[in-house]
Amino acid sequence: MSGAAPRLGEDALIARYFAPLSGPGADNLRDDAATLTPSPGHDLVVTTDTIVAGVHFLADDPAGSVARKALGVNFSDLAAKGAAPCGFVLSLGLPTDWTEDWLSVFAAGLCEAIAAFGCPLLGGDTVRAGGPAFIGITAFGEVPAGQMVRRMTAEVGDRICVTGTIGDAAIGLHLARASMPAWAGDLDRATVDALVDRYRHPRPRVALAPALRAHARAAMDISDGLAGDLAKMLKGEGRGAEILVSDIPLSAAARAAIAREPALLDTALTGGDDYEILCAVPEKDVDGLSAEAAAAGIAFSVIGTVTAGDALPAFTMADGAIRTFPGGSFSHF
C-alpha cells in the first residue's frame, strides 16, 4: 500500500531463507498452499500461537532464540495434547527496520528446532508488520484417532502432576531485561544464565506425548503461569484442586533467586513461559506415567489432587497458610 523499498523481495527472501527448511508436501514453497495428510488411523491436531516483540519476547532477544521460542510454544501445546509434531506454517511480520542479518539468524534458529523435532516448514507468509515484529505459527501434530488428550476432563481424585521445574522462565524474564533487579546482585553467572535460558528457550516435552495419551486424563501446557493455567484446566467443570507448594518442583537456580527475594515465589507460581506439562492423572496411572517420564529423561512431580467444587485451586504454603491466586495468570493481552 505504502512503504519503503524492500531490501529483498518476498520471493527472494523465501527462496533464500525458508525454502531450505521446507518439507514434503510444500513443493519447495513454490506454491500458495501445501498438502498435509495424517497417517492412516490418525487425527491431525492443530494449534496456533503468535508471539510479538515487546509482549511475548524482548525486542533484543537473539533472533535464533525468538525462532526457537515461536516454534517451542506451539510444540509444547502439541506435546500436552499427546501429539507428535509433523509440520507447521509460519506467518512472519517484519518491522520496518528488519535486517538480513536478523533474518538469517532467525532462519538458522528455525532450522535447529526443525531438526530437533523432525517437523518441517510447510508454508508461510511474510508481511510488513507496521509495528513490532510478530511470529505466528500454526503447528500440526498427529495422534492415533480419537486419542487427543483434552484439557477439561480431569476427575475428582485425579493427581495433579507437572514436568520439569516451575517458575524459572518468569524469574528469568526479570534477568533478561536491560536493567537487572537489585536481588540479582549476588547471583552467580551460571544461575542467571540458567534462568534466562529457560525464558528464551522453551523445552517442549514432545517425548512425553505417547505416555500422556496412555496415562493422563487431562493435560495442558503451562504457558501463562501454573496457578492460572491450573484454574483454567478445572474451572466451569465443578472441580478445584489442593496443591502442596512444597511439592512444586523448583530448580536450584529458582531457589537461589527466591532466597534473595521471597516475592519471587509468587512470580514462579503465577508467571508465564514455563512450557511444562500440567496434567491430571488417575491415581492408578501415576507410577506408570512417572516411570515413562523418567525413561524419557523428564522430571515429573505430583503436586496435588483434583477436588470437587467451583473454588479456585487452593495452594497450601510452607507455613500452612492456604492461598488462592484470583488474578493468577499472566495475560498476554
Judged by CB under 8 A, the chain residues 213 through 232 that form the site for a second copy are 220-221, 232
Rounded to the nearest whole angstrom, what is the least distance from the CB of residue 93 to a second copy in the complex?
A: 6
Q: Between the CA of residue 49 and those of 54, 62, 73, 287, what are the distances in Å? A: 16, 19, 7, 32
Cα dihedral 251, 257, 260, 266 sign: negative
Site for a second copy in 17-36 (CB under 8 A): 27, 30-36
Residue 128 lies near a second copy (rule: CB under 8 A): yes
Query: Are the C-beta atoms of 95 and 132 separated by less than 8 Å?
Result: yes
Is the Cα dihedral 301, 303, 309, 310 positive or negative?
A: negative
**66 near a second copy, rule: CB under 8 A:** no
- Based on the shown chain and the rule CB under 8 A, indicate whether residue 61 belongs to the binding site for a second copy: no
Instruction: Give the orientation angle of helix 252-260 with respect to helix 168-176, to 10 degrees.
Output: 60
Contacting range for a second copy; rule: CB under 8 A; set: 105-113, 119-127, 161-169, 316-324 = 119-127
Q: Given candidates 23, 91, 105, 108, which one binds a second copy under the rule CB under 8 A?
A: 91
Least separation in angstroms between residue 282's CB and a second copy is 20
Cα–Cα distance measured from residue 63 to residue 49, given in angstroms and rounded to the nearest whole number: 18
Check binding of 38 to a second copy (CB under 8 A): yes
Considering only residues 133-152, where is the footprint of a second copy by CB under 8 A? 134, 136, 138, 140-141, 143, 145, 148, 150-152
Contacts of 288 (CB under 8 A, 6+ apart): 211, 214, 215
How far apart are alpha carbons 63 and 187 in whole angstroms? Answer: 26
Of the residues 90, 187, 269, 306, which one makes contact with a second copy according to CB under 8 A: 90
Measured from the CB atom, is 48 or 246 closer to a second copy?
48
- 180 touching a second copy, by CB under 8 A: no
Q: Is the Cβ of residue 152 or residue 190 nearer to a second copy in the bound state?
A: 152
- Residue 104 interacts with a second copy (CB under 8 A)? no
Nearest approach in angstroms of CB 318 to a second copy is: 29
Q: How far is CA 258 from CA 253, 274, 303, in A?
A: 9, 16, 19
Looking at the Cβ atoms of 52 and 207, the one nearer to a second copy is 52
By the rule CB under 8 A, 114 interacts with a second copy: no
Which of 98, 106, 17 has its CA nearest to residue 69?
Answer: 106
* Interface residue with a second copy, options 70, 83, 196, 268 (CB under 8 A): 83
C-beta of 173 vs 281, nearer to a second copy: 173
Identity of residue 290:
S
Query: Which residues, other chains included, contact 115 with Cβ-Cβ below 8 Å and sequence gap of 6+?
Result: none
Q: Are 35 and 132 in contact (CB under 8 A)?
A: no
